[in-house]
Amino acid sequence: MNGEQLKNKTKEGKVVYGSMISMGRNPRWTSAISDLGLDYVVIDMEHAPRGRAEVADYLVAMQSIGVVPIVRIPIPDSHYVTMALDAGAHGVLAPYCETVEEVREVIGACKWRPLKGVMVKRVVEEAVFPSEESRKYLENLNRNSVCIIGIESVPAIENLDKILDVNGVDAIFVGPNDLTISLGIPNQYDHPDYESALRQIIKSCENKNIPVLIHHQSVELTKKWLQEGAKFVLHSSDRRQMHQGYRNDFNAIQEFGSEIMGETSQTISESTEVI
Question: Catalytic residue numbers?
Answer: 47
Give the angle 150-182-20 at the CA atoms, nearest 5°.
40
**Distance separating the N- and C-terminal Cα atoms of the chain:** 26
Give the angle 59-134-101 at the CA atoms, nearest 5°.
65
DSSP E strand boundaries for 135-257: 146-150, 171-174, 212-216, 232-237
Strand partners for 235? 216
DSSP single-letter state for residue 69: E
Q: What are phi and psi of 155, to 5 degrees?
A: -60, -35
3-state secondary structure of 61: helix
3-state secondary structure of 216: strand
Cα distance between residue 58 and residue 204, in whole Å: 35
Residue 193: what residue type? D
Cα distance between residue 9 and residue 216, in whole Å: 22
Give the angle 202-208-212 at the CA atoms, nearest 5°.
35
Among 59, 70, 77, 78, residue whose Cα is nearest residue 19:
70
